[in-house]
A and B are shown apart, each in its own frame.
Chain A
């Protein structure tokens, strides 16, 4: 007896976000079904994988992570070029030196670094501030101006600083990362507030905040999944692609960092696996852009995605 497949018919789809300059643009979104699901006749897009560059030598990175990068850690331009060589679809520049306790660099200094990195790579650039709302409000508009024409993705805009970040990105042709604290209701509200400033939804990526494996990944998973189904059911304020900062979160946990856990097996692959598995899980929930720190985690994630997409 034949079995008839039960098919969902979704009426909504994700907005399409394109970043970077021709001919090196990257597009995410446009998905009209659940991730990696072919049966319903909908389409889904391949997740985009990015590697992180810090604008100053990282503090407190375990050797298993820092060792993967060697001598480029002091030079954001070389580091960004290495990211491209290692297969990143996009490069993320984290302006950590703007942090009041990490150097408190000025907006102009940050903008100069961002411009130098953008000029040195033939991949789209994603720029993150230092995650201090007031400082990012001062830095990001200046960075946006310096990067005019590069069509970057810039964040993190929060409920506290989105007005200045969005204004800067609107004026200089960039897209914006909307960051909210693991709360789908606040995430939706922030999208509404940003589109109320006439930022097109096609120029927003949502960063719902994530917890890594073992540290609240369930919350991130369920929020991303609910957002995806809400979007497919027609909620346009949830229909923007999701970006996940998996590297930063995964390498914070003790299981990834410690060199004193013999019962957990060898140190070298543990952190990489923590990062890759966190990303692979959230890809299945429906996120679109993944920001890694370890190149091997990006490589393993890409193999997973190849397998899921039948390649």
Chain B
């Protein structure tokens, strides 16, 4: 299971303030804290408050700041391709681009960028018409992304499909469609694309969000989920991911499996 730490994002108040003041402290703290908790990647997002023209410079600074204190690759999270490119230019290791949609004009810009920098990329199973209602329509969009990635010489082993998780309190019927999409995405190509979800979205504005998050994570893992962007400092959540990995026979059991899971 690939853990992508969600915390370095301008949507969080401390990160937003750090960006405004160009004060590296909070970004460095969260880079370290998430690395210690077992993150494999750090999601890096300026958030929506940074003006578009400043986003490239800010994202580049955030990547340099985070990678200045930990040896982890980043998941470069922006709707602005210029910001993604600026981040890739200074990034060490294999980055993940987060993300392209299935819209042709987005794919035409972002897939070549991934190929140029040998980065992986997340493809969202949505287009300008929004998030599809059911699994079949999500899969159709995923297939378009797979075909376009192939056309740009990108291996499907470097493509993550995100079936798009919506909050259970307003779009309850979507959850089972997401699970079904996760199962079937693996049939689209060989090697199969990887799968990723933005986990915390499932519990937006719900009471007891951690319970919903970890229940959903385990269900999604049972459907073949490979990676998730989430709060890696939520210990019971990481414990649940480790335990699901054991129960699904993805990892060889040992008594110290919770500790080993975080070391990887």
CA distance A237 to B157 in the complex (A): 25
Residue A235 is within 8 A (CB to CB) of chain B in the complex: yes
**Inter-chain contacts of A186 with B (CB < 8 A):** 254
> Is A24 interfacial (CB 8 A cutoff)?
no
B264 touches A188 (CB 8 A): no
Interface of B is mostly: loop
B253 within 8 A of A: yes
Chain A interface residues (CB < 8 Å from chain B): 6, 9, 184-186, 188-189, 192-193, 226-227, 230, 234-238
User: Which residues of B are at the interface with A, using a C-beta cutoff of 8 A?
Assistant: 157, 190-191, 251-256, 259-260, 263-264
> Are B191 and A189 interface neighbours, CB within 8 A?
no
Q: List, in ascending order, chain A residues with CB within 8 A of B259's CB.
A: 192
A235 in contact with B251 (CB, 8 Å): yes
Q: How many A-B residue pairs have CB under 8 A?
A: 33
Residue among A230, A235, A238 facing the most chain B CB atoms (10 A cut-off): A235
Other-chain contact of B254, A9, A188, A236 (Cβ < 8 Å): A188
Does A185 lie within 8 Å of B252, measured CB to CB?
yes
Given contacts A234-B264, A236-B264, contact A9 B255 (CB under 8 A): no
Residue of A nearest to B256 (CB): A192
* Cβ B264 vs Cβ A9 within 8 A: no
Enumerate 13 A-B pairs (CB-CB under 8 Å) in ascending A order.
Answer: A6-B190, A184-B252, A185-B252, A185-B255, A192-B256, A192-B260, A193-B256, A230-B252, A235-B251, A235-B252, A235-B264, A237-B254, A238-B252
Of B157, B190, B191, B254, the contact of A192 (CB 8 Å cutoff):
B254
Closest to A191 in B: B254
Inter-chain contacts of B157 with A (CB < 8 A):
9
Contact of B252 among A6, A9, A226 (CB under 8 A): A226
B residues in contact with A237, CB < 8 Å: 254, 260
Contacts of B255 in A (CB 8 A): 185, 189
Min CB distance B218 to A, Å, is 21
Query: Is there an interface contact between B256 and A189, defined as CB atoms closer than 8 Å?
Result: yes
Q: Is the CB of B264 within 8 A of A189?
A: no
Name the A residues within 8 Å of B256 (CB-CB). Answer: 189, 192-193
Neighbour of A185 across the interface among B190, B191, B254, CB < 8 A = B254
A48 to chain B minimum Cβ distance, whole angstroms, is 25
Q: Which residues of B contact A192 (CB under 8 A)?
A: 254, 256, 259-260
Is the pair B252, A188 in contact by a Cβ cutoff of 8 Å?
yes
The 9 closest A-B pairs by CB, nearest first: A188-B254, A189-B254, A185-B253, A192-B256, A230-B252, A189-B255, A185-B254, A188-B252, A184-B252
Residues of B contacting A9 in the complex (Cβ-Cβ under 8 angstroms): 157, 191
Q: How far is the CA of A227 from the CA of B253 in the complex (A)?
A: 11
Q: How far is the CB of A204 from chain B (nearest CB, A)?
A: 14
